[in-house]
Amino acid sequence: MNKIEIDHLTFTYPGAKEPTLKDLSLTVEDGDFLAVVGNNGCGKSTLCKTLNGLIPHFIVGDMEGMVKIDGVDTREQEIGSLAKKAGYVYQDFENQIVCPTVLEDASYACLNYAVKDYEARGKEALRICGLSSKISDYVWQLSGGQKHLLALAGAAALSPDILILDEPIAQLDPAHADQIYEVLKAWNETYHKTIIVIEHHTEYIAKYCKHVLLLKDGKAAWKLPAREAMRRTEELRGSNIFPPQVTIAAGRMVQEGMLPEDTTLPVNLEEGKNLFEGYLKNRTGCMRQSFVPTEGEQMAAFENVSVKYRAVKGKAPKILDHFNLTIQKGEKVALIGSNGAGKSTILKMMMGLIQPEIGSVLLKGRPVRALSKEEIGEIISLVYQNPEEMFIKDSIREDISYAMRVRKIPEYEKRTDDLLEMFRLGNLSGRDGRLLSGGQMRRASLAIGVALNPEILLLDEPTANLDIATRREVMETLRMLKGITDTVIIATHDMQLVCDWAERIIVLSGGRVIADGTKEQIFADLYVRNQVGIRPPQIYDMGRLIGIENPCFTIDEFLDCFRGECYA
Amino acid sequence: MDVKSRMTQSQKMMVFVLSMSLYGLATLFTELIPSFQIGIVEFSVEYFLFIPLTLAMLFDPLSAALGAATGELVFSEIMLGQFGGLGELEKFLTVTIGVYIAGRIVKDPRNRRVVAAASIIGVTVQQLMGCVVDILKVQFAVEDFEAVAGLPESVFFTEGFACLNDILFSGILFCMLPAMYLVPRLYGKIEPLLGVKPRDKETQLEGGVFTPKNIALILAGFAAAIGAELLASGGYELIDWEADWAGNSTSIIVGIIVALAVTAVAAGLIRSRAGRKASAEYRNF
Amino acid sequence: MHKLTDSILDKFSMDFLRNQVLKNAYGNDDTVIAGLDPRVLLIWYLFFGLVPWFINDVVLLLGLFLFVVLTTRAARIAPLVLFLFCVGVFTQTGYLLVMALFFGGDSSLVAPLLVMTLKVAVVSLASVTVFSGLDPDRLASGLLWFGCPDQLSFSISFAYRILPVLMEEFQNILLSYRLRGNPPKKQGLIGKIRYLGYQVKLIIQAFYPLMLNTAKRSRTTVEALELKGYRYALKNPGVKKMRLAMLKVTRNDGIFIVISVIWAACSVAASAAIA
């Protein structure tokens, strides 16, 4: 039976010249787990908003064609009855939580629709989402992943038959991302909900989803079973979607004639193992050594630092506990660890925003405590996770030049132009940063961050919330930093970024450094991997699984093992 | 005015939420920024009224005004426990009226002069109403107000001066200048974020500022404000209090009983007023 | 004077403020006062918020004052709120006293002003007890029962939800200004005034990005509210009934009322005896 039927849907936002959705037709079966993929701005979110009645009931615009849920036109249903059929979790899910406590928020919708057992419904939804222990907590006490689960519980409490999630794991570490998908799987299999996710993490699509819908320029290009969809590597990459690395690797091997033409491409490790094992020629792999910096000038140091949260109630939890760390000049450091391990705290302490309770933080040998904020600003620069908070002026040019202008740096105009040029922002310079696309925003925030030529640059989650194409763009941008700022510290969950960029990896857990070394050392350490739930790129695990001795971090390195040669 | 307005209900709600959270946050700070005095001139950051003023000039004035008043009530009064009971209704209404008037005056947010004039008018209206109410309040709170030497003058002077001071100091520094800076800057940028068309000839509000209906509404609001304040600080008018009753202990007991009666009346009043207000003013949301 | 801005930005750091406000709202939900029925407390507040205005007897006022001091203690109010209360009460009457003396008043002023201060203090402490002692959800339900518009009770609970988020954002924006800006030196009187002006200007300018960022947020929030049936609930009186069903008058409420009445009666008796 079809749960959703969309018939020649065209939708134009008010004031827009082009329709966002163009003559789109689609059917979704009851009990499906559908991933919607596509370029930025191809209409994924708009499509989802037509399903829960926000379009056309609240977002006025031109809507032609028909959307039917359970065989009834959405235009003929009230928003109330639609909300009971389709629950929606936003990409900026934080803003969708409207009550101060967990249980209240989970049962809020049920209460509003006058469902008698609203509390029980809320509790049940929280239980399925794994938040039973948090029922009486306040929302601000939750971590990012828990907030996401709460938003999901809030949408699911009304027990709609359809759950729609917009980029559910964009900001999560792998362990929390797994958790979200396990919860979704439970909703789908045990509670028979139809799940629709907008997702670009193809490994998750391959593992959990049943079907994939590719949207292209507001039209449905195709809808296929998930595995089959993942094998269409060319078409996906045409839309800036990157299939699982094993699939890409196999695809390239077919192209290069290392695998027969009619090979069915693998989409996960197990299939990959079965396929690749027979063709492996070189078990050693490439022998490379990551750059190990010599003892350089000490830029920043933590000496026996302990710090606590300010608790609203009860005992204050410790974030850092007798923490020691030294950063040398020229290092490219990745700080990794699960959500809440203290990464942001470390960055904030280096900026002097949080003072240590015990111990001291030194910048170039001087305690941060003794420096004024403005002095700190000249040594070190922090690019926030949320670039919107970096934009304080009404144009990017103003934002970049602000710090130089108020410090009366000679020829600041010229340097601003140079930076605009360098970060490819020239034709955007008059725009407000907030109104740019995700990738442009990151570039602009980096340009702002390096305007004062800081000696140390700190980046907090520079790739969170970005699709994979934009992530690559950010990585390119990071390479542009060469020659401006050579000491860079990044707090991140993005292991691809870590592998491609970092020279030193510091793993945090429970307020301590539990590992510190090169990527080869860190990823080989299974204890550390399990402890903090970090996960190397899929291709690394693939290499290990089929017995390649030296680790592969990129597809090229992996392919070399099948060529029987090694370019070291 | 709802008839021709181009904003949908949910857009008005967005303006309400926006104005409430931002102004609420700002009032939280102004509660905390201590005032300082040079001679007898008190420089206090009375309020950051430029926030709702800006929003009222860019979006639906009534939603912005109600949002601001609610925000102040909730964030700075209730959250910090500074709630002054019924008297808060006075501030609620005067802020609403002041912001609403200012928002209605502006037809083109890009015109800095009109923005400046409108914000000063808004502040002046709000302050004058507040000042009148405050003077009446002390008059009723202090027994034999006229008889205490120096008190009436000092009250008139301090209140009058505070009012003037607020209009000139807070009004110019914290309302007019920021509004002039912000309104044209935000114009055309903030509207798309809410999915609203910027205010222009086609979308501007119908009718003038001082239509008879508006004036009647404003006067009624002001009367309600005075009434609420007086009720809060005395209730003399209501129960025809004779001054010479006070002073002996039996009268105090009687007084308490009467006060309880007033309490009941007040409870009823809140109920009906709130009910009416809910239906009349909040209907938009 | 530069201490002033320092105190806003450093000691009264956003973190501290946020912590205090949250502490005040939620940190004391296990006190006796927080456990009482909000309706009982609101009626109690109507009495203690109104009656003192009628009374001019110092002994009786002192009696009531002592009682509200005790209830404030029982409610475990955050220090910041109490500090604000003191500042509020004393600046109001102190200023009036100075001005009245300036206009030729004499010692006869002190008595009526003292009485007025006491009145203000009793009323304010009663309000602190009720409005800070209750957690916002219960307070909102109580107000709802007395017929306040649903929008107000929604606003209260939403305010507590959004406050930590807004503060963090504001803090980050201010920080962007501080780290990238270059404030004037604060030496000398003129320097200090300039520095102060700079800080104030900065706070105002910070609202430009904050407004835009909040606008972005509020769109999602309002859409989500629509989906969660917020408007639907406004039209349906049954929802209100369900929300209020959790309010129950318990034995503790009875005890609280009895103590209040006895205390008030004793105060009256004491004042009569002394008179």
Instruction: Quote the percentage of chain C above a pLDDT of 90.
Output: 4
For residues A419 and A445, give the distance between their C-alpha atoms in angstroms, rounded to a whole number.
11
pLDDT for res A310? 66
**Confidence (pLDDT) at A523:** 83
pLDDT tops 60 at residue B38: no
Residue B248 pLDDT > 60: no
Q: How far is B14 from chain A (nearest CA, A)?
A: 12
Query: Pairing mode, if any, of strands A332-336 and A512-517?
Result: unpaired
Token code pair at residue A555: 């597809």
For each of the domains in chain A, give its residue range(s) and CATH number, in order of start. Answer: 2-245 (3.40.50.300), 325-517 (3.40.50.300)
For residue B282, pLDDT over 90 is answered with no
- Nearest beta carbon to residue C149 from set B9, B232, B274: B274
Q: Which range has highest mean pLDDT (A277-291, A475-489, B30-44, C154-168)?
A: C154-168
pLDDT tier, B46 (very low <50, low <70, confident <90, very high otherwise)? low
Q: What is the mean pLDDT of residues A379-393?
A: 88
Checking if the pLDDT of C3 tops 50, the result is no
Model pLDDT, residue C5? 46
**Which residue in B21, B78, B189 has the most chain A C-beta atoms within 10 A of its own C-beta, making it the best mutation to test that interface?**
B189
Residue C271 has pLDDT above 80, yes or no: yes
What is the rounded average pLDDT of the residues C6-26?
62
Give B137 to chain C, closest Cα distance, Å.
Answer: 11
Q: What was the pLDDT predicted at C45? A: 86
- Asked if omega into A56 is within 30° of 0 (cis), the reply is yes
State whether C149 and B282 contact (CB < 8 Å). yes
Q: What percent of chain A has pLDDT over 90?
A: 29
pLDDT of residue A459: 92
**Distance between CA atoms of residues B170 and C4, nearest Å:** 18
Averaged over A485-501, what is the pLDDT? 86
Q: What is the pLDDT of residues C180-206, one digit of tens each?
A: 888 787 777 888 788 878 877 888 888
A15 neighbourhood in chain B, CB within 8 Å? 197
Identify the pLDDT of residue B188. 84
Residue A67: its H or E element: strand A62-69
Residue C4 has pLDDT above 50, yes or no: no
Chain B nearest-CA distance from C147, in A, is 5
Give chains near C: 3+ CB pairs under 8 A: A, B
Look at residue A36 and tell me whether its pLDDT is greater than 80: yes
pLDDT above 70: residue A416: yes
Q: Which B positions 191-250 lie with beta carbon below 8 A of chain A?
A: 192-193, 195, 197
**A220, B101, B104, B106, C259 from B208: Cα distances, Å:** 50, 10, 8, 10, 57
Q: Report the alpha-carbon distance of residue C85 to residue C232 in Å, rounded.
A: 39
The residue among B9 and C100 whose pLDDT is bigger is B9
CATH number for the region B9-234 comes to 1.10.1760.20
* pLDDT for res B29: 76
Say what the alpha-carbon torsion angle A491, A493, A497, A503 is, to the nearest 10 degrees. 50
Instruction: Please tell me which residue, B86 or C55, carries the higher pLDDT value.
Output: C55
Per the prediction, chain B carries an average pLDDT of 71
Chain-chain contact of B192 with A394 (C-beta, under 8 angstroms): no
Mean local confidence (pLDDT), B113-139: 85
Q: Chains with 3 or more CB pairs closer than 8 angstroms to A?
A: B, C
Residue A213 is inside which H or E element, if any?
strand A211-216
Smallest CA–CA distance, residue A153 to chain B, in Å, is: 24
Answer for the pair A338, A177: CB distance below 8 angstroms, yes or no: no
| H-run or E-run covering A324 | strand A318-328
Asked if C52 contacts C123 with a C-beta cutoff of 8 angstroms, the reply is yes
Residue range A43-51: mean pLDDT, rounded:
89
Residue B248 has phi, psi (to 5 degrees) of: -110, 160
Restricting to B residues 3-62, those with a Cβ less than 8 Å away from any Cβ of A are 8, 10
Give pLDDT, residue B267.
54
Q: Are B105 and B209 in contact (CB under 8 A)?
A: yes
| C153 → chain A, closest CA residue | A99
- Give the residue from A126, A127, A107, A125 showing the smallest Cα distance to A117: A107
Residue the block writes with tokens 């004393």: C90
Query: Which sequence spans correspond to the domains of chain C?
Result: 1-27+135-235, 30-134+250-269
Q: Could you tell me which residues come within 8 angstroms of residue C196 by beta carbon, excluding any fewer than 6 positions away?
A: C1, C2, C4, C5
User: Is the pLDDT assigned to residue B254 strictly greater than 70?
Assistant: no
Q: Do B17 and C51 touch (CB under 8 A)?
A: no
Inform me whether the pLDDT recorded for A517 exceeds 50.
Answer: yes
Contact B197 A58 (CB under 8 A): no
Element (H, E) at A421: helix A412-422
How far is C30 from chain B, CA to nearest CA, in Å? 18
Q: Do B71 and C211 touch (CB under 8 A)?
A: no
Burial class (CB in 10 A: 0-12, 13-18, 19+), B188: middle
- The minimum CA-CA distance between B189 and chain A, rounded to whole Å, is 8
- Out of A282-291, B149-158, B189-198, the most confident range is B189-198
Name chain B contacts of C170, Cβ cutoff 8 Å. 25
Task: Among A97, A353, A403, select the one facing C161 at the smallest CB separation.
Answer: A97
d(CA B231, CA B270): 11
Chain C interface test: which of B78, B158, B248 (most C C-beta within 10 Å): B78
pLDDT of residue A32: 94
Nearest CA in chain A to B186: A394
Report which DSSP code applies to A169.
T
Q: Which residues of A touch B8 (CB under 8 A)?
A: 58, 60
Burial of residue B71, with CB atoms counted within 10 A of its CB: 0-12 exposed, 13-18 middle, 19 or more buried: buried
Q: How large is the average pLDDT for residues B248-254?
A: 46
SS3 C9: helix
Residue among B8, B185, B197 whose CB faces A394 most closely = B185
Nearest to A152 by CA among A143, A164, A161, A141: A164
Q: Assess contact for A391 and A342: CB atoms under 8 A.
A: no
pLDDT of res. A529: 77
- Decide if pLDDT at B273 tops 50: no
Residues of chain B found within 8 Å of residue A59, distances taken between Cβ atoms: 195
User: What separation in angstroms does the CA of C47 have from each of B219, B233, B261, C122?
Assistant: 30, 13, 10, 11
Query: C12 — contact with chain B (CB < 8 Å)?
Result: yes
Question: Could B189 and A14 be called an inter-chain contact, meaning their C-beta atoms sit closer than 8 Å?
Answer: no
Of C1, C49, C112, the CB nearest to B85: C49
> For the whole model, what pTM was predicted?
0.83
A435 and B189 within 8 Å at the Cβ level: the answer is: yes
Is this complex scored with an ipTM above 0.90?
no
- Across the interface, whether the CB atoms of A14 and B195 are under 8 A apart is answered yes
Winning range, highest mean pLDDT, from B238-242, C89-93, C145-149, C156-160: C156-160
Percent of chain A exceeding pLDDT 70 equals 95
Residues of C with CB below 8 A from B56's CB?
none
Instruction: Kindly report the nearest CA distance between residue B79 and chain C, in angstroms.
Output: 7
> How far C74 CA lies from chain A's nearest CA (Å)?
17
Average pLDDT, chain A: 86
Task: Write down the pLDDT at residue B84.
Answer: 63
Query: For the segment A186-229, what is each residue's pLDDT rounded down to a tens digit?
Result: 999 999 999 999 998 899 999 999 999 999 988 899 999 999 99
pLDDT bracket for residue B250 (50, 70, 90): very low
- Domain segments of chain B as ranges: 9-234
A531 or A70: whose pLDDT is higher? Answer: A70
- The residue with greater pLDDT, C41 or C18, is C41
Beta strands A194-198 and A298-308 are unpaired
Of the residues A104, A138, A400, the best mutation for testing chain C's interface (the one with the most C CB atoms within 10 Å of its CB) is A138
What does the pLDDT look like over A425-448, one tens digit per residue? 888 888 888 888 777 888 899 889
Length in residues, chain A:
568
B255·C55 Cβ contact <8 A: yes
Window 193-222 of B: residues touching C by CB (8 A cutoff) are 193-195
Q: CA of B185 to nearest chain A CA: how many angstroms apart?
A: 7
Is A389 in Cβ contact with C176 (below 8 Å)? Answer: yes
- Look at C26 and A377 and tell me if their CB atoms are within 8 Å: no
